[in-house]
Amino acid sequence: MEHISEGDPEQERRRALEALPAALEYIETDEMLEIRHTLVEAMKAGEDTEELALRYRLMAEKLTDYDSENSSRLRIGMLVSIALMRRDGGRYDAYLEDLDDALAMAEQEYIEDLVLILSEMLAEG
């Protein structure tokens, strides 16, 4: 395991990105967290994840539909959460695509604070 010094900008950006879904009030249920863990392990092992990913996505979309006033922020939180799951599973290209989708949604909805954050994350890869 690599040593990360305190105040390391890369580690701070990583923590900020990992905190983003919750900051957007996208909070996974216990069942979703369980599926997330299984999906990450399956991705790492190179196993088929289509069925589990669809199940997670349907649950996530249902979760984001409950609050129409904040649905854009919740959906962006969902996309970031899925991106992080793919990153943790070793699917870095899909991670970047999901972050790009989240950025596009933030731009479309004129959510400038998220545009800035996501743009920085994508620029740094």
The model carries a pTM of: 0.87
In a domain, 61, yes or no: yes
CA distances, 43 to each of 47, 70, 118 (Å) = 6, 31, 24
Residue at 19 is within a domain: no
Q: Give the per-residue pLDDT at 67.
A: 67
* Inside any domain, residue 117: yes
| Domains contained in the chain, number | 1
Determine the structural domain holding residue 119 and report its residue range: 28-124
Quote the CA–CA distance of 79 and 85 in Å, as a whole number.
10
Query: Do the domain assignments include residue 92?
Result: yes
Domain assignment present for residue 65? The answer is yes
Domain assignment present for residue 56? The answer is yes
User: Is residue 75 a part of any domain in this protein?
Assistant: yes
pLDDT score recorded for residue 1: 40
In a domain, 60, yes or no: yes
pLDDT per residue as tens, the chain (125 positions): 444 456 787 788 888 899 999 999 999 999 999 999 999 999 999 999 999 999 999 999 888 887 667 888 999 999 999 999 999 999 999 999 999 999 999 999 999 999 999 998 898 87
